Amino acid sequence: MAGSEVTRTTLTSRPSSDGFWMPPEWAPQEAVWMLWPYRPDNWREAARPAQEAYAAVAEAIMGATPVIMGVPAEFMAQAERRLPAGINLVSMASDDAWIRDSGPSIVVDTHGERRGVSWIFNAYGGLKGGLYSPWDRDAQVSSLVCDHHHFARYAAPLVMEGGSIHSDGEGTLLVTEEVLLNPDRNPALTKQQIGDFLEDYLNIDKIIWLPSGVFADETSGHVDNICCFSRPAEVILTWTEDATDPQAARSQAALAVLECEVDAKGRSFKVHKVQQPGPLTISNEEAVTTMSGPGMNRRAGTRLAGSYVNFLITNGRLILPMLDRATDEQALSMMRDIFPKHEVIGVPAREILLGGGNIHCITQQVPAGAFLSSTHGGDGH
């Protein structure tokens, strides 16, 4: 990083007052960021299988959008050997490889200017409930990404991760109470205060508060693993018909909210239910090749928070995690029906899931500067 060559601008105003808002993920994108996985207490076999999975995801993205990979300097040679040619490798320190959560949320205005919103990152719960410590390098990822693009930056006074929000680009935001009201993040703030900050820093008008996320999600229930927008007033929801599965009550509670709510423009929601994979658990072989750590449970038999909702949309292409032979084809078919103008590509992603997340979690899009709209959106389909 050429941090010494860049004048970092941290703004004291807020996006809502400056005319900036968070666009939808189907808006045109300039690039997609990823971070190189390496830590042995999260990734098995010293992260080699995860690195292969990350490389496959990056290759799938590259067919539609340039990929930028942040790589710690000591792993640069390794990344150069294992990644496909054409990826822009940037020297960048990190504690783990979840740039959706540690990276900035990019906001835009009608003139095509882009700025970054940096959330306070505490590794999903700090010293009490977090997954790892220290996290100081991850806490700097957002500002380093903004520096790379010469984006001015807003420093939001909210402990949060990018995977805990999903925008329709027209003023509506999806979140879960399980994450945003978690006492390990913002114990001194009320629900109203948290909502006010989200409205100010993302310039949204309506927040849909789903009760919880996917069962056994170690992020405390990020919304990007249970429910996301496919276009304005239309969402995809993780689902199971098995009433004995602990996910069933969570999905039903989310559906109950969505059926009673309207979006910022007063529209009722159309809900697509996508069958969850599995249930999936960590195998004995996968467990024994992962180093033990204080915050992450990688023991054999542990439930994995698998979900097909955790996909990436990028410039007419949808990258979908392949997780279970019994349900993968059904998920592919469903996504192709929902996104008829997109090329839907399935990428084997169990190795990413073993680390606690999936394709949406390991990517962060940079909207194209040419994206202009005074109405916050357009469905892009």
**324-345, pLDDT tens digit by residue?**
999 999 999 999 999 999 999 9
More confident residue, 3 or 111: 111
pLDDT at residue 291 in the model: 79
pLDDT at position 258 over 70? yes
Pick the closest to residue 360 from 168, 162, 221, 197 (CA basis): 162
What span, in angstroms and rounded, lies between the C-alpha atoms of 51 and 248?
Answer: 33
**What average pLDDT does the structure give for the chain?**
94
pLDDT at position 293 over 90? no
pLDDT at residue 9 in the model: 83
- Where does the pLDDT of residue 364 fall: very low under 50, low under 70, confident under 90, or very high at 90 and above? very high
Phi, psi (rounded to 5 degrees) for 188: -90, -5
pLDDT at position 197 over 60? yes
Q: What is the mean pLDDT of residues 4-24?
A: 84
Can you say whether residue 343 is alpha, beta or left, with left for phi > 0 and alpha for psi between -120 and 50 degrees? beta
Is 227 designated active site?
Answer: no
**At 183, is the secondary structure helix, strand, or coil?**
coil
What span, in angstroms and rounded, lies between the C-alpha atoms of 344 and 319?
Answer: 6
Q: What share of the chain is helix, strand, coil (3-state, %, to 5)?
A: 30, 25, 45
Pick the closest to residue 308 from 188, 228, 203 (CA basis): 228
What span, in angstroms and rounded, lies between the C-alpha atoms of 170 and 369?
Answer: 18
List, for residues 165-195, the tens digit of each pLDDT value: 999 999 999 999 999 999 999 999 999 999 9
pLDDT at residue 60 in the model: 98
Q: What is the mean pLDDT of residues 147-152?
A: 97
What span, in angstroms and rounded, lies between the C-alpha atoms of 213 and 236?
Answer: 13
For the chain, what percent of residues have pLDDT higher than 90? 91
CB–CB of 165/105 below 8 Å?
yes
pLDDT at position 357 over 80? yes
Q: Could you please report the per-residue DSSP string of 88-126?
A: EEEE---SSS-HHHHSPEEEE-TTS-EEEEEEE--TTTH
Superfamily of domain 11-367: L-arginine/glycine Amidinotransferase; Chain A (3.75.10.10)
Give this prediction's pTM.
0.95
pLDDT at residue 371 in the model: 55
Where would I find the beta strands (DSSP E) of the chain?
Answer: 10-11, 29-35, 67-71, 88-91, 105-108, 114-120, 153-159, 166-167, 172-176, 206-210, 227-231, 234-239, 270-275, 280-281, 303-304, 312-314, 317-322, 343-348, 364-367
- Catalytic-role residue among 146, 227, 228, 361: 361
pLDDT at residue 296 in the model: 83
Task: Give me the sign of the Cα torsion angle 140, 141, 142, 146.
Answer: positive
CB–CB of 371/320 below 8 Å?
no
CB–CB of 141/34 below 8 Å?
no
Question: What residues does 103 pair with on adjacent strands?
Answer: none
Question: What residues does 30 pair with on adjacent strands?
Answer: none
Residue in this structure with the two tokens 């539609």, named with its chain if needed:
64
List, for residues 202-254, the tens digit of each pLDDT value: 999 999 999 999 999 999 999 999 999 999 999 999 999 999 999 999 999 99
